[in-house]
Amino acid sequence: PQTDIVFLKVHKSASSTVMNILFRFGETHNLTFAFPVGGGNQLYYPHHFLARFVQGFSPRSPRRFNILCHHMRFLQPEVQKVVPSSAIYFSILRNPVQLMESSFVYYKGASAFSRVRSLEEFLSQPDRYYNRTSGDRHYAKNLMTFDFGFNPDGDVSPERVQLMIRAIEASFNFLLISEYFDESMVLLKEMLCWDLDSVVFFPLNARDKSTKSPLSDSVVEKIKAWNRLDWEIYTHFNRTFWERIDRDIGRERMQREVKALRARQAELARICLQGMGSVAPKDIKDSSLRPLQHGGARILGYNLRQGLDKETERSCRRLVTPELQYSSALYKKQFAPKSP
C-alpha cells in the first residue's frame, strides 16, 4: 500500500470525506501528517503553500511527512520540500454549478456575496459585487482554479486552458470526481493498493437538503460562463476519469466493486449508527461529534449506537469524527510532549 500521499483538498467537493479516509489510514498505519504550524486546519490559505507553513519543517534538516492533506493553495516546488519524492498526488473536482451553489450558501459572508439576497441576484451583475482585489474573491469565482494555484481571473483562451490542464496533469497522478464518489473511492483503492475498509466512508460535512435550492437553466448557464476556467478543468478531468476506469478497471468490475463498497457501508451503518444515517446538528447527542456550522449551511452529523464494545466503538467513532476534531486529536498525538 502507498503511504506517501499529497491530497489537494479542493473546497466544497466532498473533500472532508476524503480527508477522513486519509486520517484513518494514517492513524492506523502510524504515519506522519504535514500539519499547519500550531495546529489549525488550513496551511495559511489563501496564500500559496510554503514549506515553512508546516509544523516541524526546517530547511536545515528537511523532515519528510507521509501525508499532506489540509487546505492549501497548491505550489508544487514547495510541496516537494515536505513530502518524499515517491508521494502520490491526487485531488477531487466537483461540477462547478453545484460547487458555486454550495459556496454561495457556505461563504455567504464573503465580500462578493454579502450584499446580495440570492445567487441569481449576484449572477445578474457579478462585476458589480465581485472585486478582483479583495482577499476572499476566490470563493465567488473559479474556486477550483484558485486552489490548484492559478489565477481565477485569468483569460479563458483555449491556449491558457490547455496550459492549466497540462500543468495539473504533470503534477497529479489522478483526479477524483465528487459526483461519482463511490467510483472515485474504488479508483483511489486501486491507485493506492489499499483494501476496501480503508476507503469505506460515511459522508462528512454534508449539508441538510433544506438549505439547497434548485437552479434554473439560465442560472446554470450563467454559473458555467462565470466559472469558465473551472468548467474547462472539470469537463476535461471528468472525461479522463472514465477513460482511466475503462483502461485500468473496466465498467463491469467497477460495478462489482461499487456494489461491495455500498454493501460494506450499509453493514457498518447497521453496526455503528443510531438510526442508520445522518442527523441535523441539533440532534447530535455527543458534542464532540458535532461538525462546525458555517454560513447559511446546516451541516449534518451522526450518533453512534450505544453499548458497542471498545474496539468497535473506536473504529466507528473514527468514521464519523468531523474534520476539525479529528485533525486536532491527530495533531496532539503527533506532537505530544515526550515524557522524560
Model pLDDT for residues 70-116, shown as the tens digit of each residue: 999 999 999 999 999 999 999 999 999 999 999 999 999 999 999 99
* 311 in any annotated domain: yes
Rg (CA), the chain: 20
Among 300, 278, 282, smallest CA distance to 291 is for 300
Beta bridge partners of 175: 91
CB 5 within 8 A of CB 192: yes
In the predicted model, what is the mean pLDDT of residues 122-151?
A: 97
Q: What is the 3-state secondary structure (H, E, C) of 244-279?
A: HHHHHCCHHHHHHHHHHHHHHHHHHHHHHEHHHCCE
* 92 in any annotated domain: yes
**Is residue 295 predicted with pLDDT exceeding 90?**
no
* 170 in any annotated domain: yes
Mean pLDDT of the chain: 95
Please give the backbone phi and psi of residue 176, each rounded to the nearest 5 degrees, phi first: -90, 165
Q: pLDDT tens, 218-242? A: 999 999 999 999 999 999 999 999 9
* 339 in any annotated domain: no
Instruction: State the pLDDT at residue 261.
Output: 98
Instruction: State the pLDDT at residue 61.
Output: 78
CB 108 within 8 A of CB 136: no
Whole-angstrom Cα distance, residue 73 to residue 43?
A: 8
Whole-angstrom Cα distance, residue 170 to residue 80?
A: 14
**Is residue 296 predicted with pLDDT exceeding 80?**
no
**Is residue 259 predicted with pLDDT exceeding 70?**
yes
Cell of 173: 497522478
Identify the domain containing residue 41 by its residue range: 5-333
In the predicted model, what is the mean pLDDT of residues 288-312?
A: 92
**Is residue 340 predicted with pLDDT exceeding 70?**
no
* 303 in any annotated domain: yes
Whole-angstrom Cα distance, residue 36 to residue 44?
A: 8
Instruction: State the pLDDT at residue 275.
Output: 86
Whole-angstrom Cα distance, residue 147 to residue 311?
A: 38
Q: pLDDT tens, 9-62? A: 999 999 999 999 999 999 999 999 999 999 989 999 999 999 999 999 999 877
In the predicted model, what is the mean pLDDT of residues 319-338?
A: 94
* 37 C-beta neighbours (distance < 10 Å), count: 13
Instruction: State the pLDDT at residue 190.
Output: 96
Among 133, 127, 152, 154, smallest CA distance to 142 is for 152
Q: What residue has cell string 444515517?
A: 277
> How much of the chain exceeds pLDDT 70, in percent?
99
**Is residue 324 predicted with pLDDT exceeding 70?**
yes
Element (H, E) at 330: helix 323-334
Query: CATH code at 25?
Result: 3.40.50
Whole-angstrom Cα distance, residue 149 to residue 314?
A: 37
- Tell me the pTM: 0.96
**What is the chain's length?**
340
* 340 in any annotated domain: no
Residue 336 pLDDT level (bands cut at 50, 70, 90): confident
* 321 in any annotated domain: yes
Residue 180 pLDDT level (bands cut at 50, 70, 90): very high
Q: Structurally, how many domains does the chain consist of?
A: 1
Residue 212 pLDDT level (bands cut at 50, 70, 90): confident
Whole-angstrom Cα distance, residue 78 to residue 253?
A: 38
* 237 C-beta neighbours (distance < 10 Å), count: 22
Q: What angle do CA 257, 69, 109 make, to 5 degrees?
A: 110
CB 298 within 8 A of CB 210: yes
Residue 121 pLDDT level (bands cut at 50, 70, 90): very high
